[in-house]
């Protein structure tokens, strides 16, 4: 493999760096992604292996050295946090990341001074348009967590397309298991799905060193929160930072990073799917498998982190379908769940199939974060809450311009970072990294597919 370089590599734009076929690097989105992903993964592995402050500083390269070194992490955890694109995270001082925190920082994440991200919380900045014809496009948007705010255990804060960040206000509290897709004001408590339960500085104390509601809120605030939570059927924990221990079914198997890298190991978890199909899929561990049923995976599908597939019957995941983080799928013996082509199941979606029943989620459907499915869903449906279908998708739901255009500047900033990263390496080191990454099993095919999606986004936007 050969590439054209200049001795002053850092002075070249990505458009001027040539690939083996003579085309600019940026026309090879998969190559760009590999460079970025290689850098990010290498820095993450270096940190988890060494736990040294300098490795942490390198991982969070967009943050100041002082902020990165002040990061507070859970003790004793093998991987205190997980995720991707840490180069797009800007840390404030004394930020806490708890065990199981998942950071998907494609669109950029800002964490204010003394922000606290609790156990198994998710900060998500990437998604896809709702119409299946545009589902391959990448839709990203920033997330900002304010000073002294707490994102509760197992909560999800997500932004997927707006230019302005989804923000959690200063001194605010996101309750455990909440889903926040809209900005919350300063001094507020949010829970459920995009619900503001309490708002106003007069309800809060000055004690920001704890996650206990009785300490963060005064008597008036606690009483008002309890009343509102009761109306919405939301349970209030004593401490929002601690997630109850997740009870997995007996005999649960875990698909970890080692399995994802090894086709033979991955095939043992999914014997009903060919190696070629597995190679084109995307798996973000850990993924939990239980039961002794049959799982059939389609081409170019994605299963995200902390998904539980408890299958004693049959589960079919169609071509191009995505399972967001913490999807919970339960299919008993003699039952079947068929997820069609280009279906999106959002974060924390729960699908429960009754005994001796078949549920089908029709092609092109979108199931919103936190929704529950117990009955079949027609094609092209948008489902929320307790299985309520709020609309049927049609051509009117397509974007006239690629959604990637909304935040194309973020891609530009990533290109600048890649250029800077390339500039720190010699031409031989760049070629060595690309070659090394290209020879890893399963990785090239997956990122070529991601590259094709990104290339299509860029083409449509331009």
Query: 395-406 pLDDT, tens per residue?
Result: 887 655 443 333
**pLDDT over 70 (residue 415):** no
The count of C-alpha atoms lying within 13 angstroms of the C-alpha of 179, restricted to the half-sphere facing its C-beta, is 14
pLDDT above 90 coverage of the chain, percent? 44
CATH 2.160.10.10 residue window(s) in the chain: 51-232, 253-393
Q: Which helix (H) or strand (E) holds 412?
A: helix 408-423
User: Three-state DSSP class for 333?
Assistant: coil
Cβ atoms < 10 Å from Cβ of 75: 7
The encoded tokens of residue 297 equal 């995976």
CA dist 158 and 19 (Å) reads 35
As a 3-state breakdown, the chain gives helix, strand, coil percent values, each rounded to 5, of 30, 25, 45
Query: pLDDT averaged over the chain?
Result: 79
Instruction: Give every CB contact of residue 120 below 8 A, 6+ residues apart in sequence.
Output: 98, 99, 100, 101, 102, 153, 154, 243, 246, 306
Q: Where are the alpha helices (DSSP H) in 16-102?
A: 29-50, 53-59, 65-69
Query: Given 2.160.10.10, 3.40.1190.20, 3.30.930.10, 2.60.120.640, which CATH number is that of 51-232?
Result: 2.160.10.10
Res 32 pLDDT > 80: no
Q: What is the pLDDT of residue 425?
A: 55
Give the position of tokens 């299958």: 311
Amino acid 421: pLDDT:
53
pLDDT at 284 over 60: yes
Q: What totals of helices (H) and strands (E) does the chain contain, helices first?
A: 11, 35
What CATH number matches the domain at 253-393, 2.70.98.70, 2.160.10.10, 3.40.50.720, 3.40.800.20?
A: 2.160.10.10
């Amino acid at each position: 493999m050969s590439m054209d370089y200049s001795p002053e590599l850092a002075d070249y734009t990505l458009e001027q760096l040539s690939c083996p076929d003579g085309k600019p690097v940026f026309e090879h989105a998969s190559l760009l992604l590999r460079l970025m992903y290689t850098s990010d993964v290498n820095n993450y592995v270096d940190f988890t292996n060494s736990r040294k402050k300098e490795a942490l500083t390198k991982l969070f390269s967009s943050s100041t050295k002082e902020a990165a070194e002040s990061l507070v992490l859970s003790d004793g955890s093998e991987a205190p946090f997980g995720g991707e694109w840490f180069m797009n995270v800007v840390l404030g001082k004394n930020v806490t990341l708890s065990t199981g925190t998942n950071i998907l920082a494609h669109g950029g994440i800002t964490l204010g001074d003394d922000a606290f991200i609790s156990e198994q919380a998710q900060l998500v900045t990437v998604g896809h348009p709702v119409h299946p014809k545009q589902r391959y496009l990448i839709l990203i948007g920033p997330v900002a967590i304010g000073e002294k705010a707490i994102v509760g255990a197992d909560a999800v804060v997500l932004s997927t397309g707006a230019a302005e960040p989804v923000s959690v206000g200063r001194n605010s509290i996101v309750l455990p298991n909440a889903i926040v897709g809209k900005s919350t004001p300063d001094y507020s408590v949010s829970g459920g799905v995009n619900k503001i339960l309490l708002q106003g500085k007069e309800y809060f104390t000055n004690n920001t060193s704890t996650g206990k509601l009785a300490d963060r809120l005064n008597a008036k605030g606690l009483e008002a929160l309890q009343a509102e939570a009761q109306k919405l059927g939301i349970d209030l924990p004593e401490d929002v930072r601690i997630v109850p221990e997740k009870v997995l079914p007996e005999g649960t198997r875990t698909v970890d990073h080692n399995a994802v890298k090894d086709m033979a190991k991955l095939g043992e978890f999914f014997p009903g799917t060919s190696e070629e199909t597995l190679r084109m899929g995307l798996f973000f561990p850990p993924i939990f498998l239980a039961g002794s049923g049959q799982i059939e995976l389609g081409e170019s599908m994605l299963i995200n982190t902390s998904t539980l597939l408890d299958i004693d019957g049959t589960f079919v995941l169609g071509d191009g379908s995505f399972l967001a983080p913490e999807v919970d799928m339960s299919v008993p013996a003699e039952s079947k769940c068929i997820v069609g082509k280009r279906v999106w199941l959002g974060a924390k979606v729960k699908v429960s199939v009754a005994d001796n029943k078949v549920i089908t989620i029709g092609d092109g459907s979108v199931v919103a974060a936190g929704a529950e499915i117990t009955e079949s869903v027609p094609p092209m449906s948008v489902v929320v809450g307790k299985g309520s279908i709020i609309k049927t998708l049609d051509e009117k739901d397509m974007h006239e311009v690629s959604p990637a255009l909304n935040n194309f500047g973020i891609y530009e900033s990533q290109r600048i970072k890649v250029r800077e990263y390339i500039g720190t390496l010699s031409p031989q080191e760049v070629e060595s990294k690309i070659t090394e990454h290209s020879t890893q099993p399963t990785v090239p095919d997956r990122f070529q597919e991601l590259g094709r999606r990104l290339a299509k986004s860029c083409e449509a936007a331009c």
